[in-house]
Amino acid sequence: MPKTILKFISVFFLLALTVQAQQSGRQAPTTTHIYELYSWQDPKGSWNFSLLPNTSSEKSVELVFSKKVVCHGLDQLKAKINLLPEGSTIALLNRLPTGTGPKAKGSESLTYPPPDVVGEIRRYTAARKIEVVGGSEAN
């Protein structure tokens, strides 16, 4: 019972803040949405991507390469980017784990796309008010 009351109070205060912000003409508080973009080239030379929400834990090889999340090519990636909220940030990553040590077994193929592909992603996201950070031409 106490958890139910606590949830109700939390929802009530969130709604009250939203109504107050709307009445005062200010924006309601928003959550920053950060995503991680992993990329790799398949044997035929096409680019694949995994766009995943940023969490406090490292992504697993199984998750990054899961058929459920992989975007095959820029068109599928752009379709997924279209689902992100305005003001989101996408971090380009080329490794698991994200540190400087050796790449996790099974993730050796992760790499940044070439500059023209990164440029196309940056132009596409900028038009949607989504920021892209990180990435490098050097792998």
Q: What local confidence, expressed as pLDDT, does residue 100 receive?
A: 84
What stretches in the chain show pLDDT beneath 70?
1-31, 136-139
Q: Is 23 exposed, middle or buried (0-12, 13-18, 19+ CB in 10 A)?
A: exposed
pTM, two decimals, is 0.75
Domain ranges of the chain: 1-29, 34-134
pLDDT confidence of residue 3: 39
- Return the pLDDT at 99: 82
Nearest one of 49, 52, 59, 48 to 36, comparing CA atoms: 52
Q: How many CA atoms lie within 13 A of 133 on its CB side?
A: 9
Q: What is the pLDDT of residue 31?
A: 63
In three-state form (DSSP H/G/I as H, E/B as E, the rest C), the secondary structure along 13-52 is HHHHHHHHHHHHCCCCCCCCCEEEEEEEECCCCCEEEEEE
pLDDT for 55-72, tens place per residue? 988 999 999 999 999 999
